[in-house]
Structure 1
């Protein structure tokens, strides 16, 4: 059965290196496991996220994004690094997701920034966040600085190799779990008489 893989991208520009990294990670994962990929662009939901933080209620568009994330068989989450941590937009999105919704969820964490000086943010900011959310974070995190793009000739800094390793780990975790049940439009309607019959009660 095909799995569902959701990419959460917190890139602010269009196009962005954050979205590019998310796409490459998704493609690499889909090569390892049959998965339908959905991308959630947080820049398109910024106003909805802010309103949800204030009102406590998601818009239909934000609600669909939250449902996609919480129902996914696996997640790839990618954020730009600002001031040595994940972006406020990225954190705000996960703040509006109901507590416990990501428990046990296979997650691959990734980030982008201008220089490699920000690479440790994956370990001291993103990994603790998803550990707190009780997600199952794969061992390899992927960081891409501006200099990494097109640097495949450097064995120690090969972005493609890191992407493939992390994607393989995510695919392996997803493959070891049953696929999520497909979403239904509505609960099954059972007439009252049929419910009584199931209980052995006659009217």
Structure 2
């Protein structure tokens, strides 16, 4: 079996958080969907909460520190990305947006992405379409058709509500798996693999 890596970006602020809970369920469903397509997959999680101060520093200095650089490299090197945010004031969180603001604008080009969001009420569900999807379209990622929104009632709304959420997760994960399976494995280029010889630098080449 070939191997792929799914990276989960979770912008939840509390511990534990419904955002991370949804992210974990999407990741597990993605791994299972890839397995049915003959692809072994692993999942790595980037918790943006741990990088809040790093991101603020990056905004004012223009450079990520070592910890944030590792998180960015993990995301850029993923075969598939699962991006999940809480919804505040009818849009994605500032922490979530800041992370994608500091990425190189070409770094997600062609990358399969599954979108997810959580909020206290279903009234925020359209934020996935009017906020998150345009963001990743701008970054030229390939976004799965189904995005997954979970409101408070999805976690405590009884069997029928829980089944509806599970079905959305299953369908979205299947779409992500199809996108990942069709794309060659992501290769993270090391900028130091082919350094310019010192003699060439001296010669101005």
Same fold, TM-score > 0.5, yes or no: yes
Q: Secondary structure at the match of 1:181?
A: coil
Q: What is the aligned counterpart of 2:97 among 87, 91, 96? A: 91
- 1:17 maps to what in 2? 18
- 2:123 maps to what in 1? 117
Answering whether residue 159 of structure 2 is matched by residue 158 of structure 1, we say no
Larger Rg: 1 or 2?
1
Q: What is the aligned counterpart of 2:86 among 75, 80, 91? A: 80
Equivalent positions of 1:47-196 (< 5 A) are 47-151=53-157, 153-154=159-160, 158-181=164-187, 187=193
Measured in 2, the distance between the counterparts of 1:13 and 1:183 equals: 34
Q: Secondary structure at the match of 1:37?
A: strand
State the Cα distance separating 1:182 from its structure 2 match. Answer: 6.2
Give CA-to-partner distance per residue, 1:87-113, whole Å, 9 cap, x none: 000000000001111111100001000
Measured in 1, the distance between the counterparts of 2:164 and 2:32 equals: 19
State the Cα distance separating 1:181 from its structure 2 match. Answer: 2.9
Give the alignment's Cα RMSD to 1 decimal: 2.1
Unaligned runs of 5+ in 2: 35-39, 198-205
Measured in 1, the distance between the counterparts of 2:22 and 2:107 equals: 25
* TM-score in terms of structure 2 length: 0.87
Does structure 2 conserve the Cα–Cα contact (< 8 Å) formed by 1:6 and 1:74? yes
Q: Taking structure 1 as reference, are residues 152 and 142 closer, same or farther at Cα in structure 2, changes over 3 Å only?
A: farther
Measured in 2, the distance between the counterparts of 1:129 and 1:94 equals: 9
Q: Taking structure 1 as reference, are residues 185 and 128 closer, same or farther at Cα in structure 2, changes over 3 Å only?
A: closer
- 1:7 maps to what in 2? 8
Does structure 1 conserve the Cα–Cα contact (< 8 Å) formed by 2:154 and 2:162? no
State the Cα distance separating 1:164 from its structure 2 match. Answer: 0.4
Measured in 2, the distance between the counterparts of 1:122 and 1:116 equals: 11
Measured in 2, the distance between the counterparts of 1:184 and 1:23 equals: 29
* TM-score in terms of structure 1 length: 0.88
Give CA-to-partner distance per residue, 1:147-174, whole Å, 9 cap, x none: 0014463279710000000000000110
- 2:28 maps to what in 1? 27
